[in-house]
Amino acid sequence: MVDGKRILSLKNGRSIFMDEEVQMIPPFIIDGKNTAEVFLSNMDYAQVGGAVVVQEVIDGNQNSYLTEVQQRYPNRFCCMGMAWNVEEAKSVIDAGLKGIAFPGHRLKESLLTLLPVFKLMEKNGLICSMCLADDEQQIGQMAEVIQECPQLKVAIGHFGMPTTKSFKSQVLLARLGKHVMIETGGITWLYHPEFYPYPTAVRRICEAAEWVGIERLMWGSDYPRTITAITYRMSYDFIEKSSELSNREKTLLLGENAYDFYGFKNLPELPYIKNMSE
């Protein structure tokens, strides 16, 4: 239950989401489980070497499963735990997960109530993945967290909500600390009415690069929910095929920035596999 409304997996990739039946994930995932192996198959096909796995309250706590995934595939995944207090954060650290994901837009209290958790994360080198509500109050709270925890790595999700008035304020958080990044996860969902190749989304990426530098931006897909409408490869090749960004900007955005920020090592070089239909 989220905000008093039901979240329930059905079959064929469908779910009850906020009391409405929706296609939550692709219909070929008939058991409702996007396992690490299913994801790795998509990653290999799309030539994506490594992925950051975050969490959302609508899926329930996935700490136990993601701990197994991190142990089995340490070079392919950077898995984030979920925690809402210091004791839960200690459990995430003990499990060997790489950070903690906060769907902050679901939080009713001030982000500052989590300051002890952020301090613990900073001390132990955990990464903070944070999605913010599109109101200035929560953005201001996140600014305080960044200033209080200058060594904490922070990735602001949903690309700062570029379809809202808070977009620039969220992106400018990257100016407050040398370890603050903005990632594009969900941008194809936000611009779904426009659809592929998402020209406005590309323009928003260019704007953000002007404000904080391309070195502070990272690609994200929001897989698997975004690929009910597009393929996994399409979630990045609209950037790769754009003429609005230079080759160097694409290289940083689509890989190098995240490689350094998340601490990936020894990612595989994946060959292009021709489609039968080509």
pLDDT, position 3 = 86
Task: Give first-to-last CA distance, the chain, whole Å.
Answer: 45
Q: What DSSP state is assigned to residue 266?
A: S
**For residue 2, pLDDT beyond 90:** no
pLDDT in tens, 18-73: 999 999 999 999 999 999 999 999 999 999 999 999 999 999 999 999 999 999 99
pLDDT, position 31 = 92
Q: 22 forms bridges with which residues in the sheet? A: 15
pLDDT, position 134 = 87
pLDDT, position 223 = 96
Cα 21 to Cα 174: distance, rounded to the nearest angstrom: 37
pLDDT in tens, 185-207: 999 999 999 999 999 999 999 99
DSSP string, 6-46: -EEE-STTEEEETTEEEE-S-TT-TTS---HHHHHHHHHHH
Q: Which of 175, 45, 162, 160 is nearest to 104 (CA)?
A: 160
Q: What DSSP state is assigned to residue 52?
A: E
pLDDT in tens, 215-256: 999 999 999 999 999 999 999 999 999 999 999 999 999 999
Amino acid at 264: F
How many other CB atoms are there within 10 angstroms of residue 138's CB atom? 19
Cα 99 to Cα 102: distance, rounded to the nearest angstrom: 10
Q: What DSSP state is assigned to residue 88?
A: H
Confidence of residue 212 (pLDDT cuts 50, 70, 90): very high
Residue-averaged pLDDT of the chain: 96
Q: Provide the pairing of β-strand 14-17 with 20-23.
A: antiparallel
Q: 2 forms bridges with which residues in the sheet? A: 5
Q: What is the pTM of this model?
A: 0.95
